[in-house]
Amino acid sequence: MTESAQPYDRSSRLSVDARAIFERGVAAVQPAALISRHVEISAGELRLGPAKLSLEEIERVVVVGAGKASGAMAAALVARLQPALKPEQRLLGWVNVPDDCADQAEPVHLHHSRPAGSNLPTERVVAGTCEIVALVESLGPKDVCLCLISGGGSALLALPAPGISLEDKRAASSLLSARGASIQQLNRVRRQLSQVKGGGLVARRRVGEFISLILSDVLGDPLELIASGPTVSDQANTAESALAVFTELGIGLDELPTSVRTHLHRSSESRAAGEQLTQQTVSPAMNVLVGNLTAAITAAAEEARARGYEVLTEVQQSPSVTADEEGVRLAEWILRHGESAGPVCLISGGEPTVRLCPQPGLGGRNQQLALAGMKTLLEPGRNHQTNGSLPDFCLLSAGTDGEDGNTTAAGAIVDGEFIRRCRNLRLDPTPYLQANDANRFFIEQGGLLSTGPTGTNVGDLRILLVENRQTAGESS
């Protein structure tokens, strides 16, 4: 059975509210709204964030980029720019996007580069990246390059370092992910294995203006980590810092592909010997943050308040917390707030990690989190407190991009009725959690949240809604 065989079917009022609150958060970070806010044209002047450029002096506008939201960003940018340019002023470009991107941005080419539900680079990604590099290298003194970066850009902008095959780079990334690497750890390694990450893309430019518009999916919005920072130089990121990641995760260097291990050792030895790579002296890119998780949380909170909820918000502080741990914590939050005087909403943002078993099934961190929370609520010692009953509640966990792990579901949604049904059927989610196969559980029992591609990506949102604890109607 495929995941599309079991549609989203939660229909309680809390579940309906949770989805509406989630959708309001996603709507707030749609590229069309963000681009219109940060790209202004008036009196012959193009303003991009703090940058101000005379339209008369521009010969070409070259648009490049990569990411899950970069196609929609390109479409919005073209709609904004094209009417303001003269016929002799060329607008062109190349942006790497996932296969399920439905946007059109002509004359900017949107290059469909990898399958939906996958987060590893493909040969199509590498081919597209070569096109992007060629455009950046072609910039003239009167050209403006606008680089559109969003979450998912690390897998959609890839040009392995010399001597490293794409297969070996993929193997290293998969190994890190399987051991629960955080986005910070992943990108410390990715930048060392790439010719375009860690400021490598902007370093290809010789002349011309270069402005990067960035939609963040990383906690705290560190620009060097978003899509591994193709337009942000990070001198602190070295081969030694990449090698340290494997030590931190307990990965032996003998587990790495030979080409990866050799490249990192050579880079480290060259640095120790005082050798420096010769780089052209160019002015850095101007990097403009156009949207982030905070904007989505703020809008979601407004929707929750409008629906009568007392609202609490939080952003995940530790990038190393696992989806299982976060699911347990949020389930315990539900139980603690079951005695609240009125309906309460917690909006939580951030991306926990998943430690994969040797042969993982289907699912992502949101489905894993929701199933771990469900398991906690099913435990007799946890869910029979105070009045001996569960509160009315809903837990929604989903990616703002509409994808979760190796599936095309956005995440999952669990409510009190779902828990009661699973308890009556004496279902045990433990084997599914251990096998990283939460997707199969939710396909079989219902509970998948499927939105389709949203056109944006600022990370994950969890919406928790709780009303007064029921005083009857539940049994052990």
Please report, for the domain that includes residue 332, its CATH number.
Answer: 3.40.1480.10
Q: Is residue 248 part of a domain?
A: yes
Determine the 3-state secondary structure of 263 from DSSP.
Answer: helix
Q: What is the mean pLDDT of residues 208-232?
A: 93
pLDDT of residue 49: 87
Residues 212 and 315 in one domain: no
Q: How far apart are CA 376 and CA 327, in angstroms?
A: 8
Question: Residue 439: is its pLDDT beyond 60?
Answer: yes
Residues 269 and 348 in one domain: no
Question: Residue 24: is its pLDDT beyond 90?
Answer: yes
State the residue for tokens 């990965």.
251
Q: What is the mean pLDDT of residues 419-433?
A: 93
pLDDT of residue 199: 93
Residues 132 and 243 in one domain: yes
Task: Give the range of the structural domain holding residue 280, as residue numbers without chain letter.
Answer: 31-291
Instruction: Identify the band that residue 5 occupies on the pLDDT scale cut at 50, 70 and 90.
Output: very low
Q: Which element (helix H / strand E) includes 411?
A: strand 411-415
Mean pLDDT of the chain: 89
The angle, 0 to 180 degrees and rounded to 10, between the axes of the packed helices 31-38 and 70-81 is 50
Q: Is residue 426 part of a domain?
A: yes
Residues 308 and 253 in one domain: no
pLDDT of residue 227: 92
Q: What is the mean pLDDT of residues 453-462?
A: 94
Residues 216 and 336 in one domain: no
Q: Is residue 474 part of a domain?
A: no
Q: How far apart are CA 240 and CA 19, in angstroms?
A: 44
Sheet holding 286-291, edge to edge: 108-114, 90-98, 60-66, 143-150, 209-215, 286-291
Q: 281-302 pLDDT, tens per residue?
A: 456 789 999 999 999 999 999 9
Query: What percentage of the chain exceeds 70 in pLDDT?
Result: 91
Q: Is residue 206 part of a domain?
A: yes
Q: How far apart are CA 305 and CA 294, in angstroms?
A: 16
pLDDT of residue 236: 73
pLDDT of residue 457: 93
Six token digits for residue 15: 């579940």
pLDDT of residue 472: 31
Residues 389 and 405 in one domain: yes
pLDDT of residue 105: 97
Determine the 3-state secondary structure of 40 from DSSP.
Answer: strand
Q: How far apart are CA 6 and CA 90, in angstroms?
A: 47
Question: Residue 328: is its pLDDT beyond 80?
Answer: yes
pLDDT of residue 8: 40
**Domain end among 269, 291, 313:** 291
Among the ranges given (175-184, 341-350, 368-377), the one the predictor scored with the smallest mean pLDDT: 175-184
Question: Residue 3: is its pLDDT beyond 80?
Answer: no
Instruction: Identify the band that residue 69 occupies on the pLDDT scale cut at 50, 70 and 90.
Output: very high
Question: Residue 453: is its pLDDT beyond 80?
Answer: yes
Q: What is the mean pLDDT of residues 106-133?
A: 95
Residues 176 and 280 in one domain: yes
Of the candidates 106, 116, 157, the residue with the CA atom closest to the CA atom of residue 401: 116
Q: Is residue 476 part of a domain?
A: no
Q: 362-405 pLDDT, tens per residue?
A: 999 999 999 999 999 998 766 444 445 788 999 999 999 999 99
Residues 148 and 37 in one domain: yes
Question: Residue 331: is its pLDDT beyond 80?
Answer: yes
What CATH number is attached to the domain comprising 164?
Answer: 3.40.50.10180
**Domain end among 291, 313, 329:** 291
Transcribe 376-405 into DSSP letters. Answer: HHHSHHHH--TTTSPEEEEEEEEETTS-BT
Residues 11 and 48 in one domain: no
Q: How far apart are CA 192 and CA 161, in angstroms?
A: 8
Q: Is residue 263 part of a domain?
A: yes
Q: Is residue 475 part of a domain?
A: no
Q: Is residue 416 part of a domain?
A: yes
Q: Return the DSSP state at 161.
A: P
Query: Structural domain tally of the chain?
Result: 2
Residues 286 and 300 in one domain: no
Residues 230 and 357 in one domain: no
**Domain end among 236, 258, 291:** 291
Residues 191 and 302 in one domain: no
pLDDT of residue 10: 59
